Amino acid sequence: MNASEAISIAIEKKLKLPEEVIELINSAPRSLFFNSSEEIFKQSMGGEDNLSYDVKYDIPGKGEVTEVRLHHVTNGLSANYTDPYMRRRDPDTMLIGDSQPTDKKRFADEFGYDFSILRSETLDWLKGQEIGIFLCFAGNYPIGAGGIVVTPLNASFFAFGLSLLQKIIPVFDLPPGFTVESVVYVAPPFRHTHFSGRQIVVHNRLEGLHEMFAYNLYPGPSAKKGFYSVLLTKGEAEGWVTTHCSTVQVVSP
């Protein structure tokens, strides 16, 4: 679905979307809105009939860098990270970009400048990309947090995995009372241009909106642990406990 059409439906259903997301949709050369994991899967390979696909980016000073090699396999997608470091979750990934209370490391302390500068750079970069967007819900509805995810279109495999981890919500079938309380922005090249190859995920807690900036393509620190942090933050504010477990249903070829 064209993202502009999705905005119109969201407005009709009185769903408030972050202004930054609307601006991205209006600025990006192409923007798609996904309403199912199947739709994202079809986009993940860069074409429905492709059996393999490289997720790559032009990195200043490095040229074209391939982050992930994808293969369409019998039971889904196989994602092979070319950099061995990217094949696991770095335990020192998370940083806090806001000034609210925390016992975690702050972005400003780690890098010596305010996160708002990098936030603007990230949104500007996304405005020049083809992007994919979808709504999701983390938790057990209605307890949890509604969210919206923005990824480069060529990184749709990441969005596909996230849509399986956190329930994807069709914009035309919103549950009663659904609100967008979190947003994920994915900008893979920044790990090279700003973080010397490290995976970094920055949490930026605004009034009524928990922003998560994922500067990596491994789902552990953002799609999984990142949303866990979103739930911990909301649960702490509202007085409920976030439990943590992982369940996988696999069909073997």
- Is 114 inside a domain boundary? yes
Which pLDDT tens digit goes with each residue over 51-77? 999 999 999 999 999 999 999 998 889
Residue 249 has pLDDT above 90, yes or no: no
Evaluate whether 182 touches 210 at the Cβ level (below 8 Å). yes
The pLDDT confidence band at residue 189, using thresholds 50, 70 and 90, is very high
β-pair partners for 42: none
- Is 62 inside a domain boundary? no
174-179: Cβ within 8 A, 24+ apart: 174/13, 174/15, 174/135, 175/137, 175/141, 175/142, 177/142, 178/15, 178/135, 178/137, 178/146, 179/15, 179/16, 179/146
| Share above pLDDT 70 across residues of the chain, in percent, rounded to a whole number | 99
Residue 252 has pLDDT above 90, yes or no: no
What's the CATH code of the domain at 23? 3.40.449.10
**pLDDT value of position 140:** 85
Residue 243 has pLDDT above 90, yes or no: no
Distances (CA, A) of 96 to 17, 52, 116: 23, 36, 11
β-pair partners for 57: 65
Residue 245 has pLDDT above 80, yes or no: no
- Is 50 inside a domain boundary? no
**pLDDT value of position 247:** 74
Residue type, 190: F
- Is 44 inside a domain boundary? no
Residue 214 has pLDDT above 90, yes or no: yes
Which pLDDT tens digit goes with each residue over 5-49? 998 999 888 999 999 999 999 999 999 999 999 999 999 998 878
Number of domains in the chain: 1
In the block, which residue shows the tokens 């396999």? 73
Mean pLDDT of 86-107: 93
- Is 66 inside a domain boundary? no
- Is 203 inside a domain boundary? yes
Residue 204 has pLDDT above 90, yes or no: yes
Domain of residue 104: give its range.
3-35+87-238
Evaluate whether 97 touches 109 at the Cβ level (below 8 Å). no
In the block, which residue shows the tokens 């789902």? 219
Count CB-CB contacts under 10 A for residue 130.
14
- Is 215 inside a domain boundary? yes
CA 98 to chain centre: 19
Would you call 135 helix, strand, or coil by DSSP? Answer: strand
Residue 90 has pLDDT above 90, yes or no: no
- Is 63 inside a domain boundary? no
**pLDDT value of position 32:** 95
Q: Which residues, 6+ apart, have CB-to-CB distance to 151 below 8 Å?
A: 131, 132, 133, 158, 159, 184, 186
Residue 127 has pLDDT above 90, yes or no: yes
SS3 of the chain: helix, strand, coil, percent, to 5: 35, 30, 35
**pLDDT value of position 11:** 85
